[in-house]
Amino acid sequence: MFKELKEINSRPGPFQFYTADKLWTNEHTSKQMLEYHLNESIDVSSRNIKFIESSVEWIASHFKISENTKVTDFGCGPGLYTLMLAQRGADVTGIDFSKNSLNYAKQAAEEKGLHIDYIHADYLKFRTSKRFDLIIMIMCDFCALSPEQRESLLLKFYSLLKPGGSVLLDVFSFNAFNQREESATYELNQLNGFWSAEDYYCFVNTFKYDKEKVVLDKYTIFEESGKREVYNWLQFYSKDSLSTEFIKHGFEIKGLYSDVAGRAFDNKSQEISIIACKPLRSDLYPDVA
């Protein structure tokens, strides 16, 4: 027992383990995630509906969305953004890991008489011959990726954009990092049965990595059938550190905001939203993905 507890409370290296597939492909947890997405009053898997509507309105105006605009949403979930953008005439592609979320998104689009190209895939491995005017990645998904994964994704973004095309995404700020605390808790059926339909015990360890500005929520779940672990990593950013990652991969920074609804940047904000553009002279930094 002592050895087991020591392992549960052990601190791994930053991004040492990656378990996103266990979260999004597990039948029970993916259904739970979909329920969180569709709860319009909370900001858990998706933002509340009032914010999403405001965000889409700003995106449509800022990027001059029309029937000629090709948009793709990396991590589209149940299509909350893709549906509204398609209603504004955009040619929309949505990519997601969760079959449950995509099934909901496809049904919602069908009911509205909209054609949206939904693709079930790990967006880190996504490939297409299409080129886009706008790539969005919303709800701080970028923060969950390791440095190597983020580098691969930025190369992919650059390759998938038309010259002059843009990326819009959001991340957590250093302010949010400073408010996190290390902790260790233990609970029966933690998160109200989120991890399993059967009884389980869950240890939750939160680790902070001050040098790297990374937080890990490590979930060790014990069910009658066995033990499993889920690692939820989050990278936190300053304006400079976020801009540097994009500039390193050939992008021009066009704007920094407090959220993806275009709110002016505030140094006290918990989030940072960035617009990064592929230069019109894209031959200066050739496609590599």
Q: Reduce the secondary structure of 12-78 to three states and give it as a string.
A: CCCCCCCCHHHHHHCHHHHHHHHHHHHCCCCCCCCCCHHHHHHHHHHHHHHCCCCCCCEEEEECCCC
Buried b (16+ CB within 10 A) or exposed e, 87-107: ebebbbbbbbbbebbbebbee
- For 289, the 3-state DSSP assignment is coil
- The one-character DSSP state at 264 is B
On the 0-12 / 13-18 / 19+ scale of CB atoms within 10 A, 129 is exposed
Domain boundaries, the chain: 2-9+176-234, 28-174+237-281
- The answer to whether 257 and 266 are in contact (CB under 8 A) is no
Q: C-alpha distances in angstroms, 163 versus 101, 168, 277, 286?
A: 31, 15, 8, 11
| Identity of residue 2 | F
Rounded Cα gap, residues 29 and 105, in angstroms: 18
Q: What pTM was estimated for this model as a whole?
A: 0.91
How many CA atoms, within 13 angstroms, populate the side-chain half-sphere of residue 120?
12
Class of domain 28-174+237-281: alpha beta
**Helix intervals (H) in 114-238:** 147-160, 174-179, 190-193
Residues 6+ apart with CB under 8 A from 108: 78, 79, 83
- The answer to whether 168 and 59 are in contact (CB under 8 A) is yes
Residues 6+ apart with CB under 8 A from 214: 14, 15, 208, 233, 234, 235, 236
Q: What is the pLDDT along the chain (289 residues), one digit of tens a residue?
A: 889 999 999 999 999 999 877 766 677 876 777 676 566 544 444 568 899 999 999 999 999 999 989 999 999 999 999 999 999 999 999 999 988 899 999 999 999 999 999 999 999 999 999 999 999 999 999 999 999 999 999 999 999 999 999 999 999 999 999 999 999 999 999 988 999 999 999 999 999 999 999 999 999 999 999 999 999 999 999 999 999 999 999 999 999 999 999 999 999 999 999 999 999 975 555 554 4
pLDDT in tens, 140-158: 999 999 999 999 999 999 9
| Identity of residue 12 | P
CATH fold of 2-9+176-234 reads: N-terminal domain of TfIIb (2.20.25)
Rounded Cα gap, residues 101 and 71, in angstroms: 19
User: How far from chain centre, in Å, is Cα 25?
Assistant: 16
On the 0-12 / 13-18 / 19+ scale of CB atoms within 10 A, 133 is buried
Phi-psi region of 89 (alpha: psi -120 to 50; beta: other; left: phi over 0): left
